[in-house]
């Protein structure tokens, strides 16, 4: 499938909140997305498969000095494993590098096999562990792995 990726704006906040809601137990609301998108150094990209009309995926990034962090990334369940997340991470890495970031960080549950494979394939490596970071209802807490990738403007242009 062909992914269509574009910059997200505050007007997209309700759509981003919907994607977050269908992806996570503790979802952020549209106002949270608006506030994050209005922060200095923050940007979001949104994506969908070409045949779709509604946004299906997003990535939210914060850039500070020469570092960037993936604050959140989500894809609607029906669009998972279609390449949207990969396209968004690649585009976000390029934009973060363009904005002067030399590294990108993120946290991911250590049992999220699909996400770990995606990030490792894109050059992220384990940088640390946060014990019992993710609290889940009716399940024991799960560790978060902190991953880091080095960014190079030339490699993403």
pLDDT in tens, 32-77: 999 999 999 999 999 999 989 999 999 999 999 999 999 999 999 9
Domain layout of the chain by residue ranges: 3-156
- Whether 146 contacts 118, CB under 8 Å: no
pLDDT of 76: 96
Average pLDDT over residues 2-24: 96
Query: Sorting pLDDT into bands at 50, 70 and 90, what band is 157?
Result: low
> Is 133 known to be catalytic?
no
> Is 11 known to be catalytic?
no
pTM: 0.93
pLDDT of 48: 96
Second-level CATH architecture of 3-156: 3-Layer(aba) Sandwich (3.40)
Among 18-22, 83-87, 100-104, 150-154, the minimum mean pLDDT is found in 150-154
Could you say which of 107, 133, 134, 154 is catalytic? 107
Average pLDDT over residues 124-145: 91
Cα 92 from Cα 75, distance rounded (Å): 15
pLDDT of 137: 81
Q: How far is CA 83 from the centre of its chain?
A: 13
* Nearest CA-CA partner of 87 in 54, 50, 134: 50
List the structure tokens of 70. 């993936």
pLDDT of 149: 97
Alpha helices in the chain (DSSP H): 13-23, 30-37, 84-98, 113-121, 153-156
Name the average pLDDT for the chain: 93
Query: Sorting pLDDT into bands at 50, 70 and 90, what band is 11?
Result: very high
Phi, psi of 42 (to 5 degrees): -90, 145
Cα 72 from Cα 86, distance rounded (Å): 14
Query: pLDDT: is 155 or 88 the higher one?
Result: 88
Beta bridge partners of 67: 64, 103
Could you say which of 69, 95, 119, 134 is catalytic? 119
Q: What would you measure as the largest C-alpha separation in the chain, in angstroms?
A: 46
């Amino acid at each position: 499938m062909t992914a269509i990726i574009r910059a997200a704006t505050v007007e997209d906040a309700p759509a981003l909140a919907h994607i977050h809601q269908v992806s996570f137990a503790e979802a952020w609301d549209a106002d949270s997305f608006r506030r994050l998108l209005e922060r200095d150094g923050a940007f979001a990209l949104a994506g969908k498969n070409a045949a779709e009309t509604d946004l299906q995926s997003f990535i939210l990034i914060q850039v500070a000095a020469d570092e960037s962090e993936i604050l959140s990334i989500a894809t609607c369940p029906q669009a998972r494993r279609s390449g949207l997340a990969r396209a968004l991470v690649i585009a976000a890495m390029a934009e973060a590098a363009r904005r002067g970031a030399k590294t990108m960080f993120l946290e991911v549950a250590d049992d999220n096999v699909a996400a770990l494979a995606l990030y490792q394939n894109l050059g992220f490596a384990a940088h640390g562990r946060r014990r019992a970071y993710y609290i889940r209802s009716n399940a024991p807490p799960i560790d978060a792995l902190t991953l880091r990738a080095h960014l190079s403007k030339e490699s993403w242009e």
